[in-house]
Structure 1
């Protein structure tokens, strides 16, 4: 598995272009905006996009999903159906945050459930339903490569906000401790914003979910 990160939108959201080194087939994870920049990086890498993957329905992660999918004639996959209300409100989100690009409501081609898998070429990504930041948030994990795309669930030194509609702080903490930590300390994760980190680092030092907080 190979990947490159493209920061997009004024929120500097980490859009990932992920591809199988054998087949050169790629997925674009969380194309929140700046579609032309994403397309340019895809062209530079010489990969073939065959799907768009969404961790959740917030504008900075999903705002360019429809236009990217239309451009490459590929499906939008994810998140969990419980984020349908967020995706249906993408135009209102764009208006609120004064996004220049026109954004339409989005219905993914496929909703995802916990325990499912999605393919990127010959690679398999495990799907984990990790609510708390949003109710339908999912995480993608390449178990073999020891890499996870966690969206806005977990950050280096922090965790996602839970003050949005249907957010839940305690549920978010449970998602991290019960869904992510069992994957192993050696997992490197790509958050929705900011630098990458490892589960070991966050278990040791993250003030919200460090093991020391829970005895």
Structure 2
């Protein structure tokens, strides 16, 4: 199993392509759909689904284009299911008033922490609110990888000054759901370089 980090759009939001020999999962296609399509075609992969860590505009900008091109479903937490079609909630109305984002509903709405299997990919889902109400972290135990969205970063944590953000809730999410993972767990954040749970436990000044 392989993975690739592809920063997209003006905020350089990390999209991740997690792949086996033939298929792949797409995390947070924030912008530049043609860049993603070109990469997937070059690797001769067949996407199976899009997994969203949350529904802020910089993580969903290419979602509809990717879904339509590959005819694949998207997964999102129920607390942000309505955000895809609401520019005020996903933030695009504030930052891009001339081109607000109104996307199609997600095909799969996640209602709780659970095991999720798509093709050969098996994830454990953690509800990690704080940065946003419906933030999800996806844990791939067999590879020791965590796709944390904007919850946990290298030496930082997610901002909580956006609608639905809560600083105390974010710290609780990190402490109760993420820090108990093994030290060598690779953290794949929504922005910036990857890190590990062990490194953040020791050196993150916010924790």
Q: TM-score range by the shorter chain?
A: over 0.9
The 1-side partners of 2:49 and 2:96 are apart by: 28
The residue aligned with 1:81 is 78
Residues 1:180 and 1:113: Cα distance change in structure 2 (over 3 Å): farther
The residue aligned with 1:111 is 109
User: In the TM superposition, what are the counterparts of 1:7-156 in structure 2 within 5 Å?
Assistant: 7-21=7-21, 24-78=22-76, 80-90=77-87, 93-98=91-96, 103-156=101-154
Residues 1:90 and 1:175: Cα distance change in structure 2 (over 3 Å): same
The residue aligned with 1:213 is none
Which of 198, 201, 204 is residue 203 of structure 1 equivalent to?
A: 201
63-72 vs 188-197, greater mean Cα deviation: 63-72
Matched, 1:174 2:172: yes
RMSD across aligned positions (CA): 1.8
SS at match of 2:187: strand
Residues 1:100 and 1:12: Cα distance change in structure 2 (over 3 Å): farther
Residues 1:100 and 1:125: Cα distance change in structure 2 (over 3 Å): farther
SS at match of 1:134: coil
194-203 vs 1-10, greater mean Cα deviation: 1-10
Contact (CA 8 Å) 1:158, 1:206: kept in 2 or not? yes
SS at match of 1:182: coil
The TM-score, its normalising length taken from structure 1, stands at 0.89
The 1-side partners of 2:74 and 2:99 are apart by: 19
Gaps of 5+ in 1: 210-215
Contact (CA 8 Å) 2:140, 2:146: kept in 1 or not? yes
The TM-score, its normalising length taken from structure 2, stands at 0.93
Deviations 1:117-176 (A, max 9, x none): 223431201111100000000011110100010000000010000111111000000000
Deviations 1:171-205 (A, max 9, x none): 00000010011121110011000000000000000
The residue aligned with 2:189 is 191
Name the count of aligned residue pairs: 206
